[in-house]
Amino acid sequence: MSQEKNGNMTIGALVAEDYRIADVFEKHGIDFCCGGQATLAATCQENDLDLTKILQEMETVKKEPIGRSENFATWSLPFLIDYIVNTHHAYLKENDAHIVAYARKIAEVHRVHHPEVIEIATIFAKIADDMAVHLKAEEEVFFPAVKRVDTAVSSGQDPQSDDRALIKSELTKLHREHEQIGDAIHKIRHLAADYAIPEDACNTFVITYKKLKEFEDDLHKHVHLENNILFLKAAQL
């Protein structure tokens, strides 16, 4: 693929084509999940990034053979849904409450010298609450409807019109919620100065910032798989 064509593709499409490119975008601070609808060229121009350099780095990572386990765009909708639930939803259910507790603890202990941790704890508590509702809606409403329509289409039958209408309405809501959660975690990163550990940080402070960084990394991949692959395929049903 030519460099010009790569530059004119959206961020989300490029990562959907080869997820290893996400490492390049992460390195340069390019949002490939919630900001995935912008083209690479436009993103580079807006953020004063060297398009040629980024394209070269992309070509370097793409030279290694890609295994099927990484080629998410080729997976069937049911398989991709199960992967998201078993990997990313499971991660959130296991970790969100712990991160809330850690953030509240350092807010209590370090609020005088690091007042930013008070707002970080408040923001993440809301993220955790919102995410619990979001996951429930996906697992109990949206994902089952997508699977039903996919099964009908695959077997040559006409899907239920109610399911198609449900998918359409849920897509709008889920996209909006992804944007809100993405904005919130980006605000936390800004408040935490890219998760830089202060010199007077205790062990709990260190663990909290590491867990917040881990949460954000997982969220980027999670939202990318939904926004740029799953949701697009679901909309085409």
> Of 70, 102, 126, which residue constitutes the final position of a domain?
70
- Do 206 and 180 reside in the same domain of the chain? yes
Looking up tokens 């919102």, which residue turns up? 130
In the chain, the number of structural domains is 2
Q: How many CA atoms lie within 13 A of 234 on its CB side?
A: 31
Could you tell me the CATH number of the domain that includes residue 22?
Answer: 1.10.3910
> Of 21, 50, 70, which residue constitutes the final position of a domain?
70
Residue-number span of the structural domain to which 55 is assigned: 3-70
- Do 49 and 130 reside in the same domain of the chain? no
- Do 45 and 130 reside in the same domain of the chain? no
Q: Do 237 and 159 contact (CB within 8 A), yes or no?
A: yes
- Can you give the pLDDT of all 237 residues of the chain as single tens digits? 455 566 788 888 888 788 788 888 888 888 887 766 789 999 899 889 999 999 999 988 887 766 555 688 889 999 999 999 999 999 999 999 999 999 999 999 999 999 999 999 999 999 999 999 999 999 999 999 999 999 998 888 887 889 999 999 999 999 999 999 999 999 999 999 999 999 999 999 999 999 999 999 999 999 999 999 999 999 988
- Do 14 and 57 reside in the same domain of the chain? yes
- Do 12 and 52 reside in the same domain of the chain? yes
Q: Do 190 and 142 contact (CB within 8 A), yes or no?
A: no
- Do 111 and 64 reside in the same domain of the chain? no
- Do 61 and 81 reside in the same domain of the chain? no
- Do 90 and 15 reside in the same domain of the chain? no
What ranges in the chain are assigned the alpha helix state H? Answer: 3-8, 11-17, 21-27, 40-46, 51-62, 77-83, 90-110, 116-137, 143-154, 161-191, 203-224, 231-236
Tell me what pLDDT residue 68 has.
Answer: 54
